[in-house]
A and B are shown apart, each in its own frame.
Chain A
Amino acid sequence: MIEIKDLHKSYKMGSNSLHVLKGINFKAEAGELVAIMGSSGSGKSTLLNILGMLDEADSGEYTLDGVPIKNLNETKAAKYRNKFLGFIFQSFNLINYKSALENVALPLYYQRIPRKERLAKSMKYLEMVGLKEWSHHLPNELSGGQKQRVAIARAMVGEPKVLLADELTGALDSTTSYEVMDLIQKINDQGNTILVVTHENDIAHMCKRIIHLKDGVIEKDEKVKQVRASQYV
């Protein structure tokens, strides 16, 4: 599903150049649940941004679902993001003046799906994350866990190839974190490919594979025995 070969990325900081990614190679198959771990400054966010087409690599190859991702202009990147990717952020990034349902429906708006169909489909996904009763509430009327579940529904609604989650439990307490991870595991069970960036060990161990990043290179890439989050809920 995802294939990365010899990926390099450096940032210019004044006269210095900061080499963040120093040749990353990895492959993720469809249906995998991969955790990318590392301390801050290890390059995990940069990697995720490149995977999410929010940033471009200096060199290296990136293939997503058989499509080579290169020479993207903004418009093309936007199209690919909409078609291939679902984002889940640490700070939820819901639009605060739109209800939960409208937030979920937003990716479908950019897929030019008619309003009625859009709302019906969004409702289905809200139901999946268990928030059907909350569909007409604004984000600030929801708890952190509920917000993240709305964000997950929003990431899912466009039926993307890959879900990219950036510290998705970073702003949540541990009980809520496990609830959210339980949801992620269930989505993964249905065959969706998910990449989770985290620095929390317990969250990483709820995935099926952990990639350890250190100083811009992959230090360790291991399959782990998945810890089911449901036992903590």
Chain B
Amino acid sequence: MFDIERWQEIFDTIRKNKLRTFLTGLSVASGIFILVILLGFGQGMQNGIAQEFEEDASNRIVVWTQVTTKEYKGLNPGRTIQMRNENYDHIETRFNDQLKDRSAMFRVRDAMVNYKKESVGYSVQGINAGFQFVENQYISEGRYINYQDHKNGAKVAVISNTIKKEIFKNGISPLNEYLDISGIQFKVIGVYGDMGGEREEERIFIPMSTAQRVFNGADRVNNLYYTLQPVENFDQAVAESTKFSNDMKQYLQEVHTVAPDDTSAINVFNTLEEVKRFFTLIGGIKLFFWFVGICTIIAGVVGVSNIMLIVVKERTREIGVRKALGAKPWSIVGMILHESIFVTAISGFAGLIFSMGLLEIFGPYIEVDYIVNPTVNFNVAITTVFILIFAGAVAGFFPAWRAANIHVIDALRDE
């Protein structure tokens, strides 16, 4: 390995057989390149999905109701199910230990929002203080709606950064300004932003109790929002939130006399279950990428061994001459393997550096849905290179060994 004479001999051979060397190198480098890029995009997809779910608290549970589709206990299908404050209160009391943030939501229908002479089209929703955390909203100015507002039925509103930009144009602070919502004045007390971006910032929030009282809501509730107390590991979290979802659904079905197998009347959306499904999907995709990558590597190895076979065939006569001049079998094997390992290693690392460089430089600029910052684990990549070198060496060994043991006479007769 550290025999300078051997190295000179190998460099001589490589220099004088450029095409052969190039082809071997190309098949190895492209194999590594494709693998790294595929793995990078697998990771990129995982990052992308993770980012999608970062927008909301990741263990978020939402409940909404529609009409029944099944006959149950003598009641016709097609009944509209309407949740009430008492449902919200009951769940809050019963599952208090498990819940972290909670909020009911009442959608104000056909709200007309005016600021001075200007009319804007945003939806207005009554919510509780916990809503901020369920939706992963942050406060830019002022404060969020709190329990006190709810208790007092305060006529206050929280607007978003987007709304602020649109209504309060010349840098006026929106705080303590008054919005006219369907003829009633609401004082702006805060400005929120949402991690989910602009499409999540099209809503104006007012306290739940105010919304119900002022806009003729009685004790009606449209949606329920919850997040659960965090637990150590992901599977446990999924299990607990699934259980909570089911218990809650069962309770609501009992109270509203809904058939237990009616999938439409009461709907529970559990982010964690969704996340889990996505992660399973990504797991599948990554597995597939690995599969494709490994197939590519195998194709690379087969390519290398093919080239090695040709090399040995092409050099049979030369090997015969060398043996006649006193080369020992092992020195022939060593020479061929040394050359192949050297070429595989150089081109493998070239492919690795090129592909990783590409991911490093262009990865952060990739802006496609569900693909964010594709990167690849360096250790994985470098291990693959070594596996490829090793496989190339093994694949090259057998033809080399056979060639080294050919009878010199036969080798010299070879045309």
Please give the residue numbers on chain A whose beta carbons come within 8 Å of chain B beta carbons, in ascending order: 49, 52, 54-55, 74-75, 78-79, 81-83, 87, 89, 91, 93-95, 97-98, 102, 106-107, 109-112, 114-115, 154, 158
Contacts and interface: CB of A to CB of B under 8 A. Distances in A.
B402 interface: no
Nearest to B16: A97
Contact of B326 (A79, A97, A98): A79
Nearest to A155: B325
Given A55-B407, A115-B8, A75 B328 contact: yes
B5 interface: yes
Given A93-B412, A109-B5, A115-B8, A78 B323 contact: yes
Interface string B328-357: 111100000000000000000000000000
A74 B9 contact: no
B12 A87 contact: no
Given A93-B321, A97-B13, A97-B17, A54 B407 contact: yes
Given A97-B17, A154-B325, 18 more contacts: A49-B409, A55-B409, A78-B326, A78-B328, A79-B326, A79-B328, A81-B324, A82-B326, A87-B324, A87-B325, A89-B412, A93-B412, A97-B12, A98-B12, A102-B12, A106-B321, A110-B328, A114-B5
Nearest to A78: B328
B408 A54 contact: yes
B325 A107 contact: yes
B405 interface: yes
Given A97-B13, A109-B5, A109-B9, A52 B324 contact: yes
B324 A54 contact: yes
A78 B407 CA distance: 12
Contact of B5 (A83, A87, A94, A115): A115
B326 A81 contact: yes
Nearest to A138: B16
A20 B46 CA distance: 74
Contacts of B326: 78-79, 81-83, 107, 110-111, 158
Nearest to A160: B326
Most chain B Cβ neighbours within 10 Å, of A55, A74, A106, A154: A74
6 contacts: A52-B324, A87-B324, A110-B326, A112-B5, A115-B5, A158-B326
Contacts of B8: 115
A43 B357 CA distance: 65
Contacts of A154: 325
A95 B328 contact: no
A93 B317 contact: yes
B234 to A, nearest CB: 61
Contacts of A102: 12
Nearest to A75: B328
Given A95-B318, A97-B13, A102-B12, A75 B330 contact: yes
A42 B321 CA distance: 25
B322 interface: yes
A46 B329 CA distance: 22
A95 B405 CA distance: 19
Nearest to B410: A54
Contacts of A106: 321-322, 325
Contacts of A114: 5
B6 to A, nearest CB: 9
B401 to A, nearest CB: 12
Contacts of B16: 97-98
Contacts of A74: 328-329, 405
A78 B329 contact: yes
Contacts of A91: 412
A34 to B, nearest CB: 20
Interface string B300-324: 0000000000000000011011111
B324 A110 contact: no
7 nearest A-B pairs in the assembled complex, by CB-CB distance: A82-B326, A97-B16, A110-B326, A78-B328, A54-B408, A107-B325, A93-B321
Contacts of A115: 5, 8
B327 interface: yes
Contacts of B328: 74-75, 78-79, 110
Contacts of A55: 407, 409
